[in-house]
Structure 1
Amino acid sequence: MVARRISPRLSDIIEASVNIDAVLDGVSMAAFERDWQKRWLIERGIEIISEASRHLPKEIKDRRPEIPWSKVAGIGNILRHDYQRIAPDVLWKLVRDDLPLLESVCREELAAALRRESEG
C-alpha cells in the first residue's frame, strides 16, 4: 500500500492560517466585530483548516497532543451547520490565541513530511 501524502493537507492549513493573519493585520477586535466581510473570510479560513485537519493521519494527532484536534475538526461543523451560534469574539480568540500554535505545529509536520516524501 502506498502511503498517502499529507503535505497538501498541512499546506492547506498553513495557507489558510497565513491568509487569516493577513486579513486581520492591523485590525482591532472592535473593527472585526463590525466588519461582516472580514468575519466571513475568517470563517471560510477556519472551515478549510477544519476540513484539512480531518484528513491528517492519527499518527500526527497522537504525536501532537497539544492541539485539540477534535475541536479543530468540530468547529467546521459548527460554522457550516450552526453558524448563527458563532460570536465574533469567539472567532477572534480562536485566531489570535489558538491558531498560531496550530500553524507552528503544521509547519514542523510539513517539513518532516516533505523530507519523508522526498526520500520515498
Structure 2
Amino acid sequence: MARDTGPVLHDILETIALIETVLAGKSREDFGKDDILRLAIQRAIEIISEASRHIPDELLLHAPQIPWRAIRGIGNVLRHEYHRVADDIIWNVVVRDLPALRTAVESLISHTE
C-alpha cells in the first residue's frame, strides 16, 4: 500500500518552520558560536532529508527546480561525514535553499489534495 504523502510534506514544512523560528534574529556568527544550535539545525535538515525520501518521484516532477537528489543525500553526509560539514554549508542551506523548498513543498501539497 502506498504511503500517504501529505503527512510527509507537512513534516517538511513544520521542520522548515522550526528552523526559521529558532534562527530568527540570529546571524551567521551567532550560529557558529552555538554548538547546540548547530547540532539542532543539522538534525532538522536530516529530518527534512529523510522525509524527502518518502515523496514519490512522480510527485517530485512537479518541482523540478528543487535539487531533490541533493536534499535526499545531505542526510547521509550529516550522519556519516559529520566531521566534514562546514558551518557555512549548513547556513547556506538554511538561508538560500529552505525558502525555495518551502514554496515547492507547499505546491506539492496542492497536488496531493
Q: TM-score range by the shorter chain?
A: over 0.9
Q: Distance in 1 between matches of 2:70 and 2:96?
A: 14
Deviation at 1:3, TM superposition (A): 4.6
Quote the residue 1:39 is aligned against: 38
Instruction: After superposition, give the CA deviation of every residue in 1:52-89 in whole Å (9 maximum; x if it has no partner).
Output: 00010011222211000000000000000110111111
Quote the residue 1:88 is aligned against: 87
Question: % of aligned pairs identical?
Answer: 44
Quote the residue 1:26 is aligned against: 25
Quote the residue 2:101 is aligned against: 102
Q: Which runs of 5+ in 1 are unaligned?
A: 116-120
Instruction: After superposition, give the CA deviation of every residue in 1:76-108 in whole Å (9 maximum; x if it has no partner).
Output: 000001101111111000000001110111112
Quote the residue 1:14 is aligned against: 13
How do 1:59-70 and structure 2 match up within 5 A? 59-70=58-69
Q: Distance in 2 between matches of 1:41 and 1:57?
A: 27
The runs of 4+ residues in structure 1 deviating greater than 6 Å are: none
The TM-score normalised by the length of structure 2 is 0.95
The TM-score normalised by the length of structure 1 is 0.89
Q: Which has the larger radius of gyration?
A: 1
Instruction: After superposition, give the CA deviation of every residue in 1:17-61 in whole Å (9 maximum; x if it has no partner).
Output: 000001100000011011111101101110000000001001122
The CA RMSD over aligned residues, in Å, is 1.1
Q: Which runs of 5+ in 2 are unaligned?
A: none
Quote the residue 1:48 is aligned against: 47
SS of equivalent residue, structure 1 residue 63: coil
